[in-house]
A and B are shown apart, each in its own frame.
Chain A
Amino acid sequence: MTTIAELPPGFADKVLSAQSTFRSVMDAMARPGSVQRIVPMAGTPGPMMRGTAAIALTLFDHDTPLWLDARMAESSDVTKWLKFHTGAPVVQDSSVASFALIGDGGTLPSLERFALGTAEYPDRSTTVIVQVDSLASGRSFELRGPGIDGVATLQASVKPFDLFERLHMNEALFPRGIDVVLVADDAVVAIPRTTRIVSKGS
């Protein structure tokens, strides 16, 4: 059993760390495929990477229902830490979640099970945060769309292996859709619903 006193800490400076983390995530979302660094440090409970922890402290609160995959949910450190530092309610129904935390991409459920937004309110959709092995090496992908000057390339090692193929559904759904944030340690890459991805092999 972990007591609250033994939980990994949050940000040392809440205000400035949240601002810095947000700017990294905002830049990632505005420039899909670009690798942004998360600088501020916080404690990392259980399987949570430091980038993921910083994003959670920056964006989650009482108003953001949260869905955890089995890898995250089975760690009582993760659930206690999230409750103590963010207050975000953990929900079982992924279709009402503002955010989803995926610790093991191999078991990622079908993306249709998350909130996709409505035609009137496409913003009411789940932002899926997936921890991946690497955002520096692995297969090569070509990305196009808003935020990208022509073509961007990304080298990444992600699970599930077909994640980007699955995200093709965003094309038909738009303006509804799923926005994905990939985290590898302190590196962050965002794939908003407007980004079109083609695999270039390894």
Chain B
Amino acid sequence: MNAPAYNFAYLDEQTKRMIRRAILKAIAIPGYQVPFASREMPMPYGWGTGGVQVTAAILGPQDVLKVIDQGSDDTTNAISIRKFFAKTAGVATTTATDEATVIQTRHRIPETALNANQVLVYQVPIPEPLRFLEPRETETRRMHALAEYGLMHVKLYEDIARFGHIATAYAYPVKVNARYVMDPSPTPKFDNPKMDNCPALQLFGAGREKRIYAIPPYTQVVSLDFEDHPFEPYRFNAPCALCAAENSYLDEIVTDDKGGRMFVCSDTDYCESRQAAGHHGSLSAAPYKDKAQEAANG
């Protein structure tokens, strides 16, 4: 039988070269979606294959990798991807945002400010911000070529007419470097301001849709809005119930079937670091430590 043998970080070198060239073009043309010949990965399309291919193309033995899904290091898909790279590339992994050099994420940007030595890799399901307004690739490509974004503004304005607000809560479109309208991936709009003028390089990989795009460090990223309806990031009414943070994104947890709810940070590393530093919310237990798992992660 043709028994499989796999390369460092899984991808073969020819594939890595192709992805690396796409990444360089993506950085040179901020917000533009570079087509690339996405490969079948050993995990399903839609589960982060684009992010995984970008990470595999940049990752080296000196890197420290963090993987989050919904802000958490401990969701099953985050664990699965982290283990994949620990196994195929032998890289060190971490859950601490400030220790990581490469962070792969699905649906969140960490609360801890990123620094210039970091690369944030986003998993993207539908990279085309205009796709739900115009399903045809030939049409949306033309719109980007002409910077013809009227359709998007009409859509946002229709929201205002119907609901009194722009009714987009996640995957909120942005304009990069005053040229390309870009999909930030399904991050909550709460995270949009973090993309602007960020010291870290931000790379976006969409495997099924075969696109790579980028925001270089210190690049202007503006959430689309109107003068009379400016962009408002989402705000929560109460602090995190565990660490009392007042400016982090919160998950709602249903605690019983009588309407009981609690709100806790979605960024688990941020929340645990704050609890370890002595911040306590209204419902906090002792800071959670899983010794067995820490030992396993080395």
Contact = CB atoms under 8 A, between A and B. Distances in A.
A98 B179 contact: no
Given A20-B60, A146-B218, A147-B217, A194 B24 contact: no
Interface stretch (A43-51, A104-112, A119-127, A159-167): A119-127
Contacts of B179: 174-175
Interface in A1-25: 14-16, 18-20, 22-23, 25
Contacts of B61: 16
Contact of A123 (B16, B18, B34): B34
Nearest to B20: A22
Contact of A16 (B35, B57, B60, B141): B60
A23 B218 contact: no
B13 A146 contact: no
Contact of B32 (A20, A29, A123): A123
B7 A147 contact: no
A192 interface: yes
B291 interface: no
A148 B217 CA distance: 7
Interface in B5-33: 7-8, 13-14, 16-18, 20-30, 32
Nearest to A20: B60
Interface of A: 14-16, 18-20, 22-23, 25-26, 29-31, 58-61, 63-64, 98, 118-123, 125, 127, 146-150, 174-175, 177, 179, 192-194
Interface of B: 7-8, 13-14, 16-18, 20-30, 32, 34-35, 57-61, 116, 141-142, 144-146, 177, 179-180, 199, 201, 214-220
Given A119-B146, A175-B29, 8 more contacts: A15-B7, A59-B17, A120-B141, A122-B29, A123-B26, A123-B29, A123-B35, A193-B29
